[in-house]
Amino acid sequence: MVTDYNFLLQSIAWPLMLLLAWFVGERVYEAWHLPRVSSYVAVGLLGGLVNLPGLTNDVPGLPFLANVALSLVLFELGYRINLRWFRHNPWVLLLGVVESAVTFGAIYWASAWFDLTVDLRLIIAALSVSASPAGIVRVANELRSAGQVTERVLHLCAINCLMSVIALKVVVGYWYLSTSGDLVLASFGSMYVVAISLAVGCLLGVAVPWLLRRRSTHERGVTVVFALSVLLLTTAAYGLKLSPLLAALTFGIVARERRVHLTNAQRDFGTGGDLLSVFLFVYIASLLDWADVGTGMLLGCWLILVRTASKVGCNLLAARLSGITERKGLLTGLALTPMSAFAILLLEQSRLYGFAPAVQVLSVMAGMMLLQELLGPVVTQRTLMVAHETHVTKE
């Protein structure tokens, strides 16, 4: 009877948690106008706290499904990137690169205050460069946000994610070189992944729009084709041990340049995208160990302070050069606060591909991850509201 009871709990764990997360997200949004994604994270943390059977490791395929969910978001983020803007205003591109480098250096320096090895400090610095596309895009879509700050945040988020992946792959290559002494293995493990992931994303970004132009396809059909293409891309990336996140971002950027457009109504990929979004945030939160959260909270608060200062400082200093006011530069830096969904899945991919320190890094950064994903979307939401770029109407 006990065995049957445990089996029942394992069977209903995920449907129960997703239903609860959706319900809580809607009620909290209606009552206090807090981002739905923060509620999803809170429910996932609760599930991890009570150690609900079958929530994480007992169910195969969850990391793959989470990567599909985040890849859809990254495709949409890439689809909102206008490369022509970088040509007209190269300061934005330069700002994204410089701010990523400054954040990496600042976090590497700040982590030296704690008893961490050089390898761990490098990994933490590489991950801290990223912003969370899932948190930022979902909040922007939820608010129907549009304007200078919103567009700048989305473009800088894409640059941050790209720089974070490259930095992490270089660190992984350095780790392979320091542990095995094999230069070929180190190069294969870093630059190969980056180059091939970019190439695969570009290939789909050219091929799919070309196929869509071969016949008349209604708007819903375009959304389905892109969603299936992202699924194909994620599956191929897993098989080739590439980065599905980097490939999906590249796919979206190139597809946008090929002039096949998604309408506003197709953002978040409809009901299926909403369901995957709920799953993604619940899953990310459920990976955090509460014991690690408690022991790593002091480190997490310190790193969040340094990371926020670097992003806000860079955007503030470069505001006039890049064509906006200091106030909007300040708001842009604050809106980049969320980071953990992208960072955690990068770590999970690295762990699955044999990068041993990934497990220890997640443990060390647990406090930082919790605060960033739980409170980060709230900061982004309030920042966009203060910028007066939201267009929410009563439904």
SS (H, E, C) the chain: CHHHHHHHHHHHHHHHHHHHHHHHHHHHHHHHCCCHHHHHHHHHHHHHHCCCCCCCCCCCCHHHHHHHHHHHHHHHHHHCCCHHHHHHCHHHHHHHHHHHHHHHHHHHHHHHHCCCCHHHHHHHHHHHCCCCHHHHHHHHHHHCCCCHHHHHHHHHHHHHHHHHHHHHHHHHHHHHHHHHCCHHHHHHHHHHHHHHHHHHHHHHHHHHHHHHHCCCCCHHHHHHHHHHHHHHHHHHHHHHCCCHHHHHHHHHHHHHHCCCCCCHHHHHHHHHHHHHHHHHHHHHHHCCCHHHHHHCHHHHHHHHHHHHHHHHHHHHHCCCCCCCCHHHHHHHHHHCCCCHHHHHHHHHHHHHCCCCHHHHHHHHCHHHHHHHHHHHHHHHHHHHHHCCCCCCCCC
Residue 393 has pLDDT above 70, yes or no: no
Residue 52 lies in a domain: no
Residue 40 lies in a domain: no
What does the pLDDT average to over 318-337?
91
The sign of the CA dihedral 383, 387, 388, 390 is negative
pLDDT confidence band for 394 (50 / 70 / 90): very low
What does the pLDDT average to over 341-354?
80
What does the pLDDT average to over 155-184?
81
Rg (CA), the chain: 20
CA distance linking residue 393 with residue 390, whole number of Å: 9
Among the ranges given (74-88, 206-220, 335-349), the one the predictor scored with the smallest mean pLDDT: 206-220
Among the ranges given (30-44, 213-227, 238-252), the one the predictor scored with the smallest mean pLDDT: 213-227
Residue 132 lies in a domain: yes
Longest dimension (CA), the chain: 69
Residue 200's domain comprises 61-386
Q: What Cα–Cα distance (Å) separates residue 384 from each residue in 137, 147, 242, 314?
A: 12, 9, 34, 19
What does the pLDDT average to over 143-170?
90
Residue 307 lies in a domain: yes
Look up residue 329 and give its two tokens. Answer: 């530069």
Q: 248-299, pLDDT tens digit by residue?
A: 999 999 988 876 555 544 566 777 888 888 999 998 888 888 888 878 889 9
Q: 46-55, 152-161, 181-190, 357-366 — which one is most confidently predicted on average?
A: 152-161
pLDDT confidence band for 395 (50 / 70 / 90): very low
More confident site: 362 or 97: 97
Query: What is the model's pLDDT at position 184?
Result: 59
What does the pLDDT average to over 92-104?
94
Percent over 70 (pLDDT), the chain: 86
CA distance linking residue 155 with residue 207, whole number of Å: 24
Residue 22 lies in a domain: no
Query: What is the model's pLDDT at position 265?
Result: 42
More confident site: 179 or 62: 62
Among the ranges given (51-60, 122-131, 228-237, 330-339), the one the predictor scored with the smallest mean pLDDT: 51-60
Indicate which CATH number applies to the domain containing 339.
1.20.1530.20
What mean pLDDT is reported for the chain?
Answer: 84
Query: What is the model's pLDDT at position 62?
Result: 83
Residue 20 lies in a domain: no
Crossing angle, helix 148-180 and helix 133-143, to 10 degrees?
A: 170
Residue 394 lies in a domain: no
pLDDT confidence band for 174 (50 / 70 / 90): confident
Percent over 90 (pLDDT), the chain: 37
Residue 165 lies in a domain: yes
Q: 45-93, pLDDT tens digit by residue?
A: 888 777 665 565 556 778 888 889 999 999 999 888 888 888 888 999 9
Q: Which of 268, 252, 281, 49 is nearest to 142 (CA)?
A: 268
Look up residue 301 and give its two tokens. Answer: 């608060």
The sign of the CA dihedral 29, 32, 37, 41 is negative
Residue 2 has pLDDT above 60, yes or no: no
Domain count, the chain: 1
